[in-house]
Structure 1
Amino acid sequence: MRFTPKSELEQRCAKLQELLKLRDIDGAVIIQNADLFYFSGTIQRSHLFIPAEGRPVLLVKKSYERAVEESGLENIICLESLREMPAILQSYSHKPLKTLGFELDVLPAVQYLRYQKLFSPVEIVDASSLLRTVRMVKSSYELQILKEAAALHGEVFSMVRETLREGITELELAGLVEAYSRKKGHAGFLRVRGFNQDLVFVHICSGRNIVPSYFDGAVGGKGVGPSFAQGACEKPIAKNEPVLVDYGFVHEGYMVDQTRIFCIGELPGHLSRAQEVALDIMEKMKKAAKPGVASGKIYDLARQAAEESPFGKHFMGFPEPVAFVGHGIGIELDELPVFAHGFETPLEEGMVIA
């Protein structure tokens, strides 16, 4: 078990404080689990207050003992009632609080209204883009965890190659992959920021079942039914058809995400050629992804390469393609930057892209 070092937390909070000052926001209140883990090192039920100037404080409802054990922050206190928060936050701020930033991209409306009433007349503004900007560039500490996750990820794909056989159902194979992953320390779930983006951590679909579905991805799979219309179903896997394994491995809170194609036998000629085109596009993207290049330019390059091939209309899902070809990844599956048309985020060293 790995606890985030105090120095790492301090650097993250300091970066956020710089952005808060630039936006003239007096402090940020962090509640959502992914952000809470990133900035405090724990997901115990808490509010983390990071003032624009001064020391952060973690206000814990439950469990205080675990929060103290897991977090490297200096100021950790028990919060008996939300009514105490305005006075506590003010005591940790170096100036009167006029504006507070919250994660309005994920905060439920009912809670927003509650906080608005609680902190009145303080203005509540959206700080989610600032939090995501800080998280976008990974530190050497984070990159090491992601490399470890990638190594474990590779072991699971090797297991798929050894386990895949004609007649095994998608569901059976998915179950074996999930069990093997858990033995390797997988957390057993994927964190996704987007609303209604429920995901299993292993998508296995084959042949004609490699179809789009409701969630924001190029393919989805049939799933077990309309209540969860994604991923594996009871279809037996046959020879000479593509078997898609879209899989995220979560290690020490961080995930890597890959999709690979397997086949028992040989793919039909046009599908084999499509695989070659996809690999060629990926290589072009890797060569073009340099510091300073706008993230949207990588998407434009990939789309142009696809349209110059015989498979342009199939790029990123047919007949309903998604409008991106890559995304940041880390604590959440859908982090910044996004490789999509019109996005101008300059790429930086330390960004991790799926």
Structure 2
Amino acid sequence: MNAKNEALQAWMNESNVDVSIATSKYNVFYLSGYYSEPHERLLAYVSFKNQQPILLCPAMEVHDAKNAAPHAEVIGYLDTDDSMELLSNEIKKRSSQFAVVALEKEHLHVLRFESLLKAFPETKWVSLEDKLQMLRMVKDEEEIKKIQKACELADFAVEVGVKTLREGITEMEVIAEIEYEVKKKGVREMSFSTMVLAGPNAASPHGTPGAAKVKKGDLVLFDLGVIFEGYCSDITRTVAFGDISEEQAKIYETVKNAEMKAIEACRIGKTCADIDNIARNYIKDAGYSAYFPHRLGHGLGLSVHEFPSLTGHNQVPLEKGMCFTIEPGIYVPNVAGVRIEDDIVVTANEPLVLTKYPKELQIII
């Protein structure tokens, strides 16, 4: 049996949940081991309290699904079938108890939910996301190894980007070089759209790369991630292309020091809010609080953004095995945009930093 499904079943028995239906590709993969990009088609992993789970997928994927999820009964459907009707019928075949069903309320769209309402008119529907967020928040050793490998590849990608910089090269040309080199390493996809932002563009936290050319005196921000066997990395580094001003250098050192202080505090028992406040207060004391407009970090795993969220209001305590980013930034329009981001695992002792690319200010001549 699958350990992650067993953990879900234990919760179902404790919480009197009769059936759980996961429909997002990330949660289906987490529970089953099978990854699919179903597009508009239905993909569903159904858990019961004390029975074999079922994995419902398009018929053309049945062979792959059986190989990836031998613990589950794989059921395929044709494009001419009503996949939601099939799902409801398969649940009814296996259980007469469906008073309480957990599903992904944030993922299942209205049309499909209406089909379930019609099939199970007396059922109480509860959120499955909350439990899966908590399960996914703490990684096992195998998951951490995969994230670590993804981080090694992300370090390599930043190295490629920095070495590619030259006067007149565009942001998109740098991205093309990065992604070409990582794909040569066997990487199929990035965690998200790679960002390379030069000069004034770096002061936009989630700016859009384009035809802007790198020039002397620019700060150049790299934000990227790599997926390895389903698990994501996420790294940000900022470098100087040529000499920069004293204020730009001050901003860089402020961000770096804030990040390092926050990382050092990532210990069991501290809360997400504690960590956010350490970095935020350091930046505030340096006079840049108005220019740090986002949370300190986010969970990392199958999705590049998952639980927990490191905000000043999140009182969730850190536990061994949690994996998340620490990424303070200062963005002063027409002056500087600096962000430094690392991927962290909470251990029994000091935090483990998975991303290794150097953080000392690099001035590219």
Q: Residue 279 of structure 1: CA displacement?
A: 1.2
Q: Which residue of 1 aligns with 2:69?
A: 71
Structure 1: stretches of 5+ with no match in the other structure: 1-6, 191-198, 213-218, 222-229, 316-320
2:195 partner amino acid:
H
Partner of 1:41: 33
> Residue 301 in 1 paired to residue 293 in 2?
no
How many corresponding residue pairs?
Answer: 315
Partner of 1:105: 106
Are 1:248 and 2:225 an aligned pair? yes
Partner residue of 2:56 out of 33, 55, 59: 59
1:348 pairs, out of 319, 337, 347, with 319
Cα deviation for residue 91 of structure 1 reads 4.2
Distance in structure 1 (CA, Å) of the matches to 2:86 and 2:172: 50
How has the CA–CA distance of structure 1 residues 74 and 108 changed in structure 2, closer, same or farther, with 3 Å as cutoff? Answer: closer
User: Which residues in structure 2 correspond to 1:329-344 (within 5 Å)?
Assistant: 329-344=300-315
Matched residue of 1:49: which SS? Answer: strand
**Aligned counterpart in structure 1 of residue 24 of structure 2, from 18, 29, 32:** 32
For residues 104-158 of structure 1, give each alpha carbon's deviation from its aligned partner in whole angstroms, at most 9, with x where no partner exists.
Answer: 1122222222222233222222211111111111110111111111111111112
On the 8 A contact 1:241/1:268 being kept in 2, the answer is no
Shift of 1:276: 1.0
Provide closer, same or farther for how the CA distance between residues 344 and 92 of structure 1 changes in structure 2, counting only shifts above 3 A.
farther
SS at match of 2:226: strand
- Cα 1:52–1:267 shift into 2, 3 Å: farther
Distance 1:120 1:234, change over 3 A: same
CA–CA separation in structure 2 for the residues paired with 1:74 and 1:114? 24
1:158 corresponding residue in structure 2 = 159
Structure-1 residue corresponding to 2:330: none
Task: Look up the match of 2:8.
Answer: 16
Aligned-residue offset at 1:47: 1.7
**1:214-268 residue CA offsets vs partner (Å, 9 max, x unmatched):** xxxxx022xxxxxxxx2x1101101121000000111111111011012222222
Once the two structures are superposed, residues 261-295 of structure 1 have per-residue CA deviations (whole angstroms, 9 ceiling, x without a partner) of 12222222111111111111111111211112211
Q: State the distance in 1 between where 2:202 and 2:286 align.
A: 21
What is the aligned partner in structure 1 of residue 246 from structure 2? 269
Q: Residue type matched to 2:67 in 1?
A: E
Deviation >6 Å, runs of 4+: none
TM-score if structure 2 supplies the norm length? 0.81
Percent of residue pairs bearing the same amino acid type: 23
1:220 and 2:206 correspond: yes
What is the alpha-carbon distance in structure 2 between the residues aligned to residue 176 and residue 43 of structure 1?
28
- Taking the aligned partners of 2:268 and 2:50, their CA distance within structure 1 comes to 31
Residues 196 and 221, structure 2, Cα contact 8 Å, conserved in 1? yes
1:171 is displaced (CA, Å) by 1.2
Deviation of the 1:73 alpha carbon: 2.1
Supply the distance in 1 between the matched residues of 2:90 and 2:111 (Cα, whole angstroms).
23
Instruction: Quote the residue 1:134 is aligned against.
Output: 135
Partner of residue 117, structure 1: 118
Q: State the secondary structure of the residue aligned to 1:353.
A: strand
**Does 2:297 align with 1:326?**
yes
The secondary structure found in structure 2 opposite 1:205 is strand
**Counterparts of 2:235 and 2:301, CA distance in 1:** 13
Q: d(CA) in 2 for partners of 1:43 and 1:251?
A: 12
Counterparts in 2 of 1:189 and 1:162: CA distance versus 1, 3 Å: closer
Q: Distance in 2 between matches of 1:187 and 1:115?
A: 35
Q: 1:335 and 1:131 mapped to 2: Cα distance?
A: 11
For 2:144, the equivalent position in structure 1 comes to: 143
TM-score using structure 1 length: 0.84
Q: Can you give the 5+ residue segments of structure 2 that lack an aligned partner in the other structure?
A: 326-365
CA distance in 2, matches of 1:189, 1:249: 4
Q: Is the 8 A contact 1:56 1:92 kept in 2?
A: no
